[in-house]
Structure 1
């Protein structure tokens, strides 16, 4: 099978296409012929810093969708030919992958593979953010950083389905149009901390209930400053650099800070199935557009990484083996 392999850590040039032996599933595992694999910003961190496995070489990518081509012993939930999607299984930048059957989600017949793949990492993240980590309520106002990105668009749409108001932060007029189409009520063009004054103006100086901040250190303190009393800063920008060290006494207005870890989104198989089922229903009912921004052939993985790191992209990026 063909796969993208990282043999040395570094820039996008370290993503090489290679021919590898077809993997064979062991007990409790399935082999999937991949039709779409998601590209995430965390993949660039793995390429630069190493995968969670700590091994070199490795095949990057942690989410995708496809059709089961082989079953390992003791797999009873699936059959060969079933369509499935998954998240957090390294090796997804490839034509085939072996993963635990317990990590796979059945894909309904009316959900295309590319849509399913685009929902697994960013969709589950956004769904957990707005339903559990922040629990958006009707009438609340939220700031969404990078509102034109794949995660930002999904956050915006899900906040709107729960009756919230969205102030979308974007870095260009082109991205403003994308964020507005996703449903953002207000658009603020900003880089760094320039969004503070406009957000406070929009809220009459009171601030917002929640800030969803994936911007890293450059926006962390500014995000704190636009929260109202007891507001929540939901921070997920560690891949862009460590957050500042904060003295607890520096926290203004009794705000709360959360750093939601992906494994806490889906701590059990039941949670994985619940989030994914809800997301498929939202797509089916046209309450959620997966927002696929660009599709690349597998051997263009390096270009996909260059594009996502340039911050010029909008929506979800996919590799199609």
Structure 2
């Protein structure tokens, strides 16, 4: 089968097309004939060696859409031929066929395969960080950093659907601010100077880290929650004293879908299904801003590396 991957740690140019054997689904797994593969920020650190040197040729890709081509032992659903969006905790999505745990292959129920290509990880994360880590309640106000990205644009819409009273965002450029405003934000601010520009909020979503994360604590309302779900800025980890948190009635929570998939797969599935119901109903949408052939996966990694990415980038496979 055709696939794209890497066997050396390098920039986007490390991604190259190859022919490799198609995987075989094991117990509790399904084989997906991939139509679209989503491109995600978390795939770049893997290519850059954050997890160590690759042990042979590695195919990235954490979410796909397509039809179930085969099922492994013990799998009753989804059925062969069923269209699904899938989260791939072990990667492998940049290929014609990918193996996913059956629990993370979600029926699309009429959602187009193109939309499904950006749903398995992106929508699940956006819903999970809001409903799980941040415990968003109706009437809460929300601040979303990286407001123009795939998760940020989805989270703004999901927050509204869950009853948020106000949704604010921050971005790195004026162009991203104009883009983000399409997704229901009340206001979008420059990330470098958002403090003092908005009222205290109940929830902050932060995938950036560093100074942005530290400044976010200062805008939390009483019992406000800072929900952390990434380290896109590649800053050193913060050492936060606990005393200022309890003295100011603030809390910090975390969301990591990989850990959740290992320890509570049912929670991941519930988050994904809730988000996909919103997508199917039209309450939210996925904005695909770039669609490239599978062989151009390296180019798909270039825009996020240069902080130019907005919305959702897909690789067209099938």
Please say whether Structure 1 and Structure 2 have the same fold, judged by a TM-score greater than 0.5.
yes
Contact residue 34 and residue 66 of structure 1 kept, 8 A: yes
The separation in 2 between residues aligned to 1:277 and 1:24, in whole angstroms, is 26
**Structure 2 residue corresponding to 1:236, chosen from 229, 233, 240:** 229
The separation in 2 between residues aligned to 1:210 and 1:71, in whole angstroms, is 41
Residue aligning to 1:253? 248
Per-residue deviation, 1:275: 2.3
Give the TM-score normalised by structure 1. 0.89
Change (3 A) 1:298 1:28: same
**Structure 2 residue corresponding to 1:224, chosen from 217, 242, 254:** 217
The separation in 2 between residues aligned to 1:257 and 1:142, in whole angstroms, is 14
The separation in 1 between residues aligned to 2:61 and 2:172, in whole angstroms, is 27
Work out the number of aligned pairs and report it.
312
Change (3 A) 1:161 1:94: same
Residue aligning to 2:167? 166
Residue aligning to 2:92? 91
Question: Which structure 2 residues correspond to residues 149-164 of structure 1 after superposition, within 5 A?
Answer: 149-164=149-164
Structure 1, unmatched stretches of 5+, are: none
Residue aligning to 1:69? 69
Per-residue deviation, 1:53: 10
Per-residue deviation, 1:268: 4.1
Residue aligning to 1:29? 29
Q: Which moved more, 1:134-143 or 1:115-124?
A: 134-143
Per-residue deviation, 1:239: 4.6
Contact residue 166 and residue 185 of structure 1 kept, 8 A: yes
Per-residue deviation, 1:89: 3.7
Residue aligning to 1:112? 112
Q: Which moved more, 1:251-260 or 1:211-220?
A: 251-260
Q: Which moved more, 1:9-18 or 1:167-176?
A: 167-176
Per-residue deviation, 1:233: 1.0
Per-residue deviation, 1:295: 1.0
Per-residue deviation, 1:216: 1.9
Q: What secondary structure does 2:267 align onto? A: helix
Give the TM-score normalised by structure 2. 0.90
Change (3 A) 1:5 1:226: same
The separation in 2 between residues aligned to 1:21 and 1:306, in whole angstroms, is 28
- Cα deviation, 1:269-307, whole Å, max 9, x if unaligned, reads 543442232222212222101122211111111111111
- Between Structure 1 and Structure 2, which shows a larger proportion of helix residues? 1
Contact residue 29 and residue 102 of structure 2 kept, 8 A: yes
The separation in 2 between residues aligned to 1:284 and 1:85, in whole angstroms, is 12
The separation in 1 between residues aligned to 2:168 and 2:101, in whole angstroms, is 39
Contact residue 45 and residue 239 of structure 1 kept, 8 A: no
RMSD: 2.1
Q: Which moved more, 1:307-316 or 1:96-105?
A: 96-105
